[in-house]
Chain A
């Protein structure tokens, strides 16, 4: 089953067309990486999928449940009330700059949404939260506050927070771009460990080797369109001129 379907998505900022009629789908258990130069629209595409941006055309479905569509006035209709609650429960997002809640402890960051949005049982939520923190190697940081953690630790808390709501699909928006190489390594390792748990992931990244290693499928975006799409092997060895230019530096290494 397709967990996510984006059909003919368009998005512009004023006169600038950022997404030009893009369609893509993500199957259950699939790991999809989106790569491409800065300004190619990959982060915007992710922000459209997660409804942080309002699309100007097209339709978004999660588990065949219509999330965003175009109304009769030509404007996107975003989900409201109970619909919104259901649709937001399908996915999680890990931000480039973590966006942890600084006034909450690590454990409360992870537990708060399952408790107060999903209204789940506290003992069960706490047990699961501690398990996720343990998987992230952060069990001993449960009572710490975000300002006491390194960037890599913050990002791992953010991943645990996203997973605690049991999303069907997890998005990553350049999860290591705010981190130095050492911290990048520890976060990438954690994301790889999620692949072993068969969690469906869509990852916007500049880490080429990582994308190549982890992905089932890679999308190369350029100037608001999908320029290349396929298995990592196919995309990374493609003859597409723009792709070659973009990967030039990477392939030399």
Chain B
């Protein structure tokens, strides 16, 4: 197999990795916000359950969670886990896992907001929803952006864990090609791809941080 062919195959795999990346963010960022509400809930039972959820999600390997989500339905209900379910399982496991991390990041940002911001909004007559979405959340986003960047960069690399359930994203392909052709080249190419992807992510996030620097 020549180099261009390897490049071509891995580029195809890269698209799948990016698919995991984008869909995970699309689902886990809003879900994380909802989970952070649960974590901060005044209802002790709700906050306790959510605390356990976050603890388990952060305390066990993502690879293991992938296996549970993928094979679980088969062992529990003998459900059909063929066809598109492999991809669904990847997104489900990644979104559930990353939402737990994002929830804690949101919580740190929300809890760092001075109470005066809530009080000023209340006095001016803002509803609770207006207060959160107009006053609190924009400031929280600015505060948590560096922490979110960290997670997003980790996510780029974590997409390679999908190999555990044989979803053919870039890393799975690289391994397959390397084994079949007994060559190290696919790993180097994959490394370069991941690196460029993350460079791009870093540039975009830096740009976002700069855009939010219009106030302090």
A50 in the interface (beta carbon within 8 A): yes
Report how far A113 CA is from B142 CA in the complex, Å: 22
Q: Add 18 more A-B contacts to A97-B116, A146-B215, A165-B125 (CB < 8 A).
A: A51-B122, A88-B122, A88-B123, A92-B123, A93-B123, A95-B119, A99-B114, A99-B120, A102-B139, A102-B215, A103-B139, A103-B142, A112-B124, A113-B126, A116-B134, A117-B124, A117-B126, A162-B123
Report how far A147 CA is from B142 CA in the complex, Å: 15
Whose C-beta in chain B lies nearest to the C-beta of A96?
B116
Report which B residues bind A (CB closer than 8 A). 114, 116-117, 119-120, 122-126, 130, 134-135, 138-139, 142, 214-216
A193 to chain B, nearest CB (A): 22
Whose C-beta in chain B lies nearest to the C-beta of A118?
B125
Name B's interface SS. Answer: helix
Whose C-beta in chain B lies nearest to the C-beta of A165?
B124
Report how far A99 CA is from B114 CA in the complex, Å: 9
Contact B120 A117 (CB under 8 A): no
- CB-CB under 8 A from B126, the residues of chain A are 113, 116-117
* Known interface pairs A102-B216, A117-B130; A161-B138 also in contact (CB < 8 Å): no
Report which A residues bind B (CB closer than 8 A). 50-52, 84-85, 88-89, 91-93, 95, 97, 99-103, 112-113, 116-118, 145-147, 161-162, 165
B136 to chain A, nearest CB (A): 10
- CB-CB under 8 A from A165, the residues of chain B are 124-125
Contact A95 B134 (CB under 8 A): no
B122 to chain A, nearest CB (A): 7
A98 to chain B, nearest CB (A): 8
* Known interface pairs A102-B215, A116-B130, A145-B215; A85-B125 also in contact (CB < 8 Å): yes
Interface centre among B120, B124, B138, B215 (most CB of A within 10 A): B124
Whose C-beta in chain B lies nearest to the C-beta of A105?
B215
- CB-CB under 8 A from A93, the residues of chain B are 123
Q: Could you count the A-B residue pairs with CB atoms below 8 Å apart for me: how many are there? A: 59
27 pairs from A and B in contact (CB 8 Å cutoff): A50-B123, A51-B122, A52-B123, A88-B122, A88-B124, A91-B123, A92-B124, A95-B116, A95-B119, A95-B120, A99-B117, A101-B135, A103-B138, A103-B139, A103-B215, A113-B126, A116-B126, A116-B130, A117-B125, A117-B130, A145-B215, A145-B216, A146-B215, A147-B215, A162-B123, A165-B124, A165-B125
A123 to chain B, nearest CB (A): 20
Report how far A196 CA is from B82 CA in the complex, Å: 79
Contact B119 A52 (CB under 8 A): yes
Report how far A126 CA is from B164 CA in the complex, Å: 59
- CB-CB under 8 A from A116, the residues of chain B are 126, 130, 134
- CB-CB under 8 A from B138, the residues of chain A are 103
Report how far A92 CA is from B215 CA in the complex, Å: 25
B95 to chain A, nearest CB (A): 29
Report how far A93 CA is from B216 CA in the complex, Å: 23
Top 9 nearest A-B pairs (CB, nearest first) are: A99-B116, A99-B120, A113-B124, A147-B216, A88-B125, A117-B125, A145-B215, A93-B123, A103-B215
Set A100, A113, A147: member contacting B125, Cβ < 8 A: A113
Report how far A51 CA is from B123 CA in the complex, Å: 8
Report how far A138 CA is from B27 CA in the complex, Å: 45
Report how far A88 CA is from B119 CA in the complex, Å: 12
Whose C-beta in chain B lies nearest to the C-beta of A145?
B215
Report how far A107 CA is from B119 CA in the complex, Å: 20
Interface centre among B120, B123, B134, B139 (most CB of A within 10 A): B123
- CB-CB under 8 A from B117, the residues of chain A are 99, 101
- CB-CB under 8 A from A95, the residues of chain B are 116, 119-120
Contact A101 B120 (CB under 8 A): yes
- CB-CB under 8 A from B216, the residues of chain A are 102, 145, 147
Contact B215 A52 (CB under 8 A): no
Contact A112 B134 (CB under 8 A): yes
Interface centre among B119, B120, B139 (most CB of A within 10 A): B120
Interface centre among A89, A100, A101, A162 (most CB of B within 10 A): A101
Contact A52 B139 (CB under 8 A): no
Report how far A116 CA is from B117 CA in the complex, Å: 17
Whose C-beta in chain B lies nearest to the C-beta of A113?
B124
Whose C-beta in chain A lies nearest to the C-beta of B124?
A113
Report how far A146 CA is from B216 CA in the complex, Å: 8
Report how far A147 CA is from B215 CA in the complex, Å: 7
